[in-house]
A = this chain, B = another copy of it.
Amino acid sequence: MKALDRATANGILYTDQYELTMAQLYFRMGIHERVAQFDHFFRTYPDYGAHQAGYCINAGLAWLLDWMQQAHFRDQDIDLMRGMRDRAGGPVFHEDFLSWLRHDADFACLSLRAIPEGRVVHPDEPLTVVYGPLAMAQLLETALLNLLNYQILVATKAARIYEAGRGRPLLEFGARRAQAEGANAGTRAALIGGADFSSNAGISHVLGYPPKGTHAHSMVQAFMALGEGELGAFRAYAEVYPDDCLLLVDTINTLESGLPNAIKVFEELRAKGHRPVGIRLDSGDQAYLSIQAAKMLDGAGFPDTQIVLSSDLDELVIWQIVTQIEQEAPRYGVDADALINRLVFGVGTRLITSWGDPALDGVYKLVSVYDRGKWQPAIKISDTPGKTLNPGYKNVWRLYDRRGKATADLLALPDEDPRTMPLIHLRHPSDATQSRSLSQDDISSIEPLLVEVMAEGRLLVDTPGIEAMRERRRQDVELLDPGVRRLVKPRVYHVSLTQQLWDLKQQLIGAAR
């Protein structure tokens, strides 16, 4: 895309057309400045088919805030809108509305509360809450969903892959299989969720993480075509990168060519006082090959070299490989723990696409309108009870049990504080027959999750660095019950309503019917 076109495509018109037609309608009806509140939440955890998430990792907020602060109606945007025609040939957008957009419409009128990036989050709880004039709050919808949904999806997948890899380094390699420039958001989310580094150079530099990468099969092929062979390619690599020498050993044959050649070059490096870094396996049976590689590298006196695995990995594949190594390595005289502790996982396609479930069902719903001096909670009823909205302005509290593990997230009305309730009644969001009660004795602590991040366009908090978000994620995941962390068929975490919020919801459902 040309640079000028990019400014249009990624600016304030980076939105669905209906946000603009609704905004004009609100303007025309004189209700565009009524104050409204929208909740961003997702309804279900990613479900990858054979397995499913038991928690998600929140991500994306800082980039949404950046976009909100940059996006505004430029003359070019107004001209494009002015040029649109309805079916009778008249203008879709009228001059008074366009003038208002050009001069009065930006996101500096909006306020946001949000759960910080890196935190564990669950379905049906507001992750980001937007309030402000109806037209602009509506106009934010598409960009908000676009910028938040995907980063939550990838941060969640990264957290799962990191869990499967038992904390061994995880590299994000997915740029070539991402949705074009969505790759950059994917890299950022992967870093928040569990990746230690990424191959994607530009965005890694922007985020302060050195990009990682060594060489591809094509380097070996090029040397072969020039008559030099794999050993020549490896020697050249070692010459140029004597202290970063990590060799891809499967271009010809891993065990018969790649590994013997790599070990030869490693010995030459050692003789010159350098420490070789390791090898990468990008094909074949990676449990078997990594055991054989470890055996050969150990035998040559390189027990500290890394073994990087790549090629269509995801959390289940990594889990299987690690489990198989544990079982099989001893049969070959290889120490399984030592081998696992030298593994590094490079994950591309299946991380950046959230393979198995490539979209988070995050939505942005009107939950309240300020009218006649008070908030009027809004509801949308669905034939599927779980899809009926939790109405109104809400707080989200996380309750920790006596072990210190998170036991439930509780949605409450703004004047309720579960910390002062002797007995906390937790209602299932839609099933009237399901509830439980917790006394303060059952609880070690209670924490509010939503933070005020923006007041009428002004940032209230400094954007934390990626490292702080990673640390939050590590802490929050540690505070989950092991059953919730399980990769396959995890235990269901409770997101509940207070009795008062439940009552309000039932009352609105009754009134709407």
Contacts and interface: CB of A to CB of B under 8 A. Distances in A.
B185 A180 contact: yes
B176 A378 contact: no
Interface in A184-229: 184-186, 199-206, 210-219, 221-222, 224-227
A202 B9 contact: yes
Contact of A213 (B18, B26, B251): B18
Contact of A179 (B1, B87, B150): B150
Contacts of A150: 177-180
B251 A380 contact: yes
Interface in A364-389: 365-366, 368-369, 371, 376-383
Interface residues of A, number: 124
A2 B66 contact: yes
A338 interface: no
B8 A202 contact: yes
A324 B181 CA distance: 39
A201 B15 contact: yes
A149 B174 CA distance: 12
Nearest to A348: B359
Given A87-B277, A178-B150, A224-B378, A215 B185 contact: no
A478 interface: no
B182 A29 contact: no
Contacts of A186: 179-180
Nearest to A378: B225
B10 A202 contact: yes
A414 interface: no
A504 interface: no
Contacts of A182: 178-183
B180 A184 contact: yes
Interface of A: 1-3, 5, 8-11, 13-22, 24-26, 28-29, 31, 34, 36, 38, 63, 66, 70, 77, 80, 84-88, 90, 92, 134, 138, 141-142, 145-147, 149-151, 173, 175-186, 199-206, 210-219, 221-222, 224-227, 236-237, 239-244, 251-252, 274-275, 277, 283-284, 349, 352-355, 358-360, 362, 365-366, 368-369, 371, 376-383, 512
28 contacts: A1-B66, A8-B205, A9-B202, A9-B206, A16-B173, A17-B212, A18-B216, A19-B213, A22-B218, A24-B240, A28-B236, A28-B239, A87-B243, A138-B216, A146-B175, A146-B177, A150-B177, A176-B362, A177-B360, A178-B179, A179-B185, A180-B184, A181-B182, A221-B378, A221-B380, A224-B378, A225-B368, A225-B378
